[in-house]
Every structure is written in C-alpha cells, then in structure tokens.
Structure 1
Amino acid sequence: MTDIQTSRLSLHAIDTAEGERIVARRPGDGDAWAEDFPFDGDVIGVTAFLRSTAAHGDQRPLGHYRITRSSDGNAIGGIGFKGRPDGGCIEIGYGLSPSARGQGYAGEALVALLGIAAEHGLSRVIADTTKDNIASQRTLERAGFNQVGDDGDLYLYEVLLNAPSQRTQPQ
C-alpha cells in the first residue's frame, strides 16, 4: 500500500510487525522515531489495532497509520480508524508525541484520513475527545467535524462525507 503524502507529512499504513514494535517501544532497523515517540496514546491505539487485526485480518486501508514528519523523516504519532465500518460510519482516533503538538500536524493527518474514508464509500466519520482537550476539539472542527453531543467527560463529533465538503486544510 502506498503512503499518503500531505504537504508536511507521510501517513504509512502499519502492519502487525510494525505495530508490535510500536507497542514494545523498540524501533527496528530503518525505523526513525522522534525522541518521544511512541507516547502512551500511540501504544493504546496500536494495541487496539493489533487486537482488531487478530480478530478480523488485515485492516488496511481502514487501519492505523504512522504519522511521519517529512522534514526529518521521524515518526511523530499515529492516526487510524477504530474498528470496522458500520452502516457507512467509522470512528477515528489520533495523537501526536508531545514534541510535535501545536503545529497543525494532527489536523493535516486528519484531513488526509477523511479522504481515505470517502474514497472507500464511507458516509460518516465519528470521533470523541475529552472536554478539557481544547486543542483536539479545534482540530476536529477545523477538519469539518461538528460537535453532536457529549457522553460524560467526552464531547462527541461527526463529519458527513456525502454532504458538500466543508473540510479545509488546517493551518
């Protein structure tokens, strides 16, 4: 599978072997990781990806992607689809290593992932974020998501992909 290129990033669909290296926090030959990659959120997301892959087989292209910064070639986070599509809907999650936050990388990767969802016939993408994570809320909103509710400590978001696109490249 070909990596997805954005203006500043490369999204690489990981396989089981790479997922296991990320969870173990042990880079293999050829892995270039930012000093603080993977962080706890990466390990949690990739662990879920590995469980889903074990249960359902290869998830690509609706799996998990390593986010790599083009300027230095280092992995800085992850983004991916959580589980399998259900009635044209799929959930996403993302996270960046602390050193890569605040530079618009998450939004850039999110817009690219929405393109993958649309290309594969999905009509709705959902996400959630904690109520205190203002940066994630703004990232979702800049990518075209609307807040549709809350559930305890979480805000719930969705974007409809079959509607006229409101997605823009986050800045």
Structure 2
Amino acid sequence: MKIESVATERLLLHPLTVAEAERIVAREPGTGELWEEGYPGDGDVRAATGFLRGVAERGDPGVFRGYGIRLAESGVTVGGIGFHGPPDEIGVVTVGYGLVPSARGRGYASEALRALLEIARRAGVSGVKGDADLDNPASHRVMEAAGMPCVAEDEQLRHFYLGF
C-alpha cells in the first residue's frame, strides 16, 4: 500500500517503508537519505523495530505506521513520529515522537503531531492517546500545543488524550 507523505508548513512526514525501517534499525542511511546528527535515536530504533514486528504479524498497517520527520526545505530527517500500532478495540491509537537535540525547541514536534492527529481523524479513529514521563515537561507542552489535554497522571507518567 502506498501511503503519501504529509506536508505541513515546515515539515514533511514521510511514511516509513519496511526497507527504511530496516535501515533505521541498522542505523545506516540509504543512498540519498539525509539524516541529522543523532538520528536515529534509541526511540526511533525501538519504533522501527515495532513497525517491522507489526508488519510481520499483521501485514501493512496503512496509515498507522511510523513517519520520518523531515525538514521541508532541506529534506533532512530530524526525528520520527507515528502510531504504536492499529486502533485498539474501541478505536483508539497511541502515538509517540522524538526529535534529535538540534531540532528541539522550534515547535517541530507539535507541528508534526498536529499533522499526525489529522491523519488519525481522517482514518476514522475514535481517539488518540499519548503519555510522557513526569520529568519531561517539553513533551507535555508538545501534546498540549497539538490539542491533546492531560487527562490523568500517575507515579511515572502524564497521560494525554484527544477524542474525535
């Protein structure tokens, strides 16, 4: 299934293919792939590994996959964002994201998350959830800026949710 890239004002969310996910896991860019220093991070490798496992178990996930976050101007990949898998039994998906240190603090993560939320909404999910460690206020701000309010907090995490 061919999934189209999604353009925002400053970014391009590029849907990962199996071959690209394998290169992320190996930390070896392909010919013509431009990766910012620090990409892929450990979270990107975990996400790509999960994507590959999901494809092996359930087949192509359609839009519910990982996406590389590329700067629209240069095409350089500065992070990743995506779904942890298909919607659950009540139609909710979980999202995750990360940026290389040099790309943080510029609003890229919130911009990318807003685009991902729109992908989820158009795909017909009932809601989107995410969480972040209590000591990660930058990630809390990302989700809140993208329209996902905090709905709960426990000993380790703040939980965010947006229903459609």
Q: State the TM-score, normalized to the length of structure 2.
A: 0.95
Q: CA deviation at 1:49?
A: 1.3
Unpaired runs of 5+ in structure 1? 162-171
Rounded to whole Å, the distance in 1 between the matches of 2:62 and 2:40 is 21
Correspondent of 1:75 among 62, 74, 77: 77
Map 1:47-86 → 2, pairs under 5 A: 47-86=49-88
Q: Secondary structure at the match of 1:85?
A: coil
> What letter matches 1:149 in structure 2?
A
Rounded to whole Å, the distance in 2 between the matches of 1:113 and 1:146 is 16
- Count of equivalent residues: 161
Aligned to 1:10: 12
Rounded to whole Å, the distance in 2 between the matches of 1:55 and 1:92 is 19
Rounded to whole Å, the distance in 2 between the matches of 1:60 and 1:68 is 20
Rounded to whole Å, the distance in 1 between the matches of 2:94 and 2:53 is 16
Of the structure 1 ranges 4-13 and 55-64, higher mean CA displacement relative to structure 2 is found in 55-64
Correspondent of 1:96 among 88, 94, 99: 99
2:161 is aligned with 1:155: no
Q: CA deviation at 1:152?
A: 2.9
Q: Secondary structure at the match of 2:43?
A: helix
2:140 is aligned with 1:137: yes
Q: Write out per-residue CA displacement over residues 57-83 of structure 1, whole angstroms, 9 at most, x where no aligned residue.
A: 111211110110112210001000112
Aligned CA-pair RMSD: 1.0
Q: State the TM-score, normalized to the length of structure 1.
A: 0.91
Correspondent of 1:123 among 120, 123, 126: 126
Q: CA deviation at 1:51?
A: 1.2
> What letter matches 2:130 in structure 1?
A
Q: Secondary structure at the match of 2:141?
A: helix
Q: Secondary structure at the match of 2:130?
A: strand
CA contact (8 A) 1:13 1:60 kept: no
Aligned to 1:106: 109
Structure 1 consecutive aligned stretches of length 4 or more whose deviation exceeds 3 Å: none
